Amino acid sequence: MSEESRSGGLARARALDAADPLARYRDQFHIPSGPDGGPCIYLCGNSLGLQPRATAARVQAELAAWARLGVEGHFAEGVGWFDYHERFRDSTAALVGALPGEVVVMNALTVNLHLLMVSFYRPSGRRRKVMIERGAFPSDRYAVASQASFHGLEPSEVVIEVGPRAGEDVLRTEDILAAIAAHGPELALVLFGGVNFYSGQVLEVGVITAAGHAQGAVVGFDLAHAAGNVRLSLHDDGVDFAAFCTYKYLNAGPGGVGCAFVHTRHGSSPELPRFAGWWGNAPATRFGMPEAFVPQSGAAGWQLSNAPILPMAALSASLDLFSEAGMEALCAKSAKLTGYMQELLDGIEGGLFEVITPASRGCQLSLRVVEGAAGLHQRLSAAGVVCDFRRPDVIRVAPVPLYNSFEDVWCFCDIIAGFAAEGV
């Protein structure tokens, strides 16, 4: 690429940033430094989101309250750890298209999946099977297999995997629906990811849910790569349950607290089997220490323990930014960012890689590298690009609309174009 062409490309990226109404949010985050001491090109929000600048103050405020008040912080005015999780009712519900009370912040992703499957995977008679996507994140596969074993079933006999066709990289919706129909009378649970972690494909949540329900199955989703990334309508789509994490697109920090969604038609069913803990008990009687567990209504009735205040405080800093920016605007910018990246990548010659992520996507593009993916990832890292490598041959890049710029995208593509020109 000539210097004139490169200069024109950079100017275009900066013009796009100047016209971006969300560009100001980048300054609300800490951008890690690259090898040259300047900000790196951070394209790994699909793995760990960046730290909002407000996070430290939020956490420090709770540390100060703890130091000042001790146990009295649970009920002290302006602190209120007792009902701290209630602060997230509206903001988390808005993220995933739920009603307030259908989402609760608690535990971690896979812990929540297990707790929800206790209630919603109830194998009985012929209806014992679980359908998942082939190539689901390992934690999901382990969770499903162990739940089957917990019920005395052989995982290889009851876990059904639906994958892409031979020679293809993404699932076809019609193949998912055909598999649901074929196994309908035996299906107890359909459990898919909202966004496939490897390919970045967004699955059709509403269509899959309707198909599963038509066969009498319960339908749940792992939204680890979907929450805060794509538009979701969990309530209207009738999803029975879902779980998601907050450390990826929701920027709550490493190991950040998880979230659970339970549709309101189940949340008001106290007789639904569940593993119980005292924080899921009705608040009015919680400190009365009643002998019998009486779950509060909504997803909060699945809580076991009191809220982890410090991780929740970190999450609050990011959710304020989401509430202010709005998912509609964030998804619109995401489409522009990934569309721009796709355009630039398509213009790179040399046959170094192919983009396997379909048009139905969120922030992430997955690049299948023809040869030497691990080495290319190392070179990108040395050049100041933070992305990730997934074996055997995929590099995932995720321009996140809250803090990534069009210039970030251009710089990444310029670097990888240079490598392609070198035949690396």
Structure tokens at 388: 């990730």
Tokens 């670097």 locate to 415
Residue 136 confidence (pLDDT)? 94
Quick one: fold of 83-324? Aspartate Aminotransferase; domain 2 (3.40.640)
- The alpha carbon dihedral of 48, 100, 274, 241 has a sign of negative
State how far the Cα of 81 lies from the Cα of 71, in Å rounded to an integer: 9
State how far the Cα of 158 lies from the Cα of 186, in Å rounded to an integer: 9
State how far the Cα of 188 lies from the Cα of 147, in Å rounded to an integer: 12
Q: In what side-by-side order are the strands of the sheet with 259-262?
A: 103-105, 259-262, 241-244, 218-222, 187-193, 129-133, 159-162
The values of phi and psi at residue 287, to 5°, are -85, 0
Residue 377 confidence (pLDDT)? 98
Residue 261 confidence (pLDDT)? 98
Tokens 């103050």 locate to 57
Structure tokens at 163: 């994958």
**141 and 197 Cβ atoms separated by less than 8 Å:** no
Helix axes 3-18, 406-421, angle to 10 degrees: 160
The CB density around residue 276, as the number of other CB atoms within 10 Å, is 16
Tokens 């074929």 locate to 182
The DSSP code for 234 is H
State how far the Cα of 225 lies from the Cα of 223, in Å rounded to an integer: 5
Residues ≥6 apart with Cβ < 8 Å to 206: 233, 236, 237, 238
Residues ≥6 apart with Cβ < 8 Å to 247: 48, 49, 253, 254, 255, 256
Q: Give the up-direction half-sphere exposure of residue 319: CA atoms within 13 A in the CB hemisphere.
A: 25
Please give the CATH number for the structural domain made up of 3-52+326-421: 3.90.1150.10
| Residue 406: closest CA among 334, 352, 348 | 334
State how far the Cα of 402 lies from the Cα of 399, in Å rounded to an integer: 9
Structure tokens at 295: 């779950």
Tokens 């005015």 locate to 77
Q: Is 94 exposed, middle or buried (0-12, 13-18, 19+ CB in 10 A)?
A: middle
Residue 289 confidence (pLDDT)? 87
Tokens 């995982």 locate to 155
Give pLDDT tens digits along the chain (424 positions). Answer: 567 678 899 999 999 999 999 999 999 999 999 999 999 999 999 999 999 999 999 999 999 999 999 999 999 999 999 999 999 999 999 999 999 999 999 999 999 999 999 999 999 999 999 999 999 999 999 999 999 999 999 999 999 999 999 999 999 999 999 999 999 999 999 999 999 999 999 999 999 999 999 999 999 999 999 999 999 999 999 999 999 999 999 999 999 999 999 999 999 999 999 999 999 998 888 888 899 999 999 999 999 999 999 999 999 999 999 999 999 999 999 999 999 999 999 999 999 999 999 999 999 999 999 999 999 999 999 999 999 999 999 999 999 999 999 999 999 999 999 999 987 6
Q: Is 28 helix (H, G, I), strand (E, B) or coil?
A: helix
Query: Which residue ranges make up each domain of the chain?
Result: 3-52+326-421, 83-324
| Residue 117: closest CA among 154, 157, 151 | 151
- Note if the pTM is more than 0.95: yes
| Residue 162: closest CA among 137, 131, 193 | 131
Q: Give the up-direction half-sphere exposure of residue 81: CA atoms within 13 A in the CB hemisphere.
A: 20
The CB density around residue 109, as the number of other CB atoms within 10 Å, is 25
State how far the Cα of 225 lies from the Cα of 384, in Å rounded to an integer: 24
First-to-last CA distance in the chain? 16
Residue 382 confidence (pLDDT)? 98
The CB density around residue 382, as the number of other CB atoms within 10 Å, is 10
Structure tokens at 208: 């899959």
Q: Is 332 helix (H, G, I), strand (E, B) or coil?
A: helix
The CB density around residue 322, as the number of other CB atoms within 10 Å, is 20
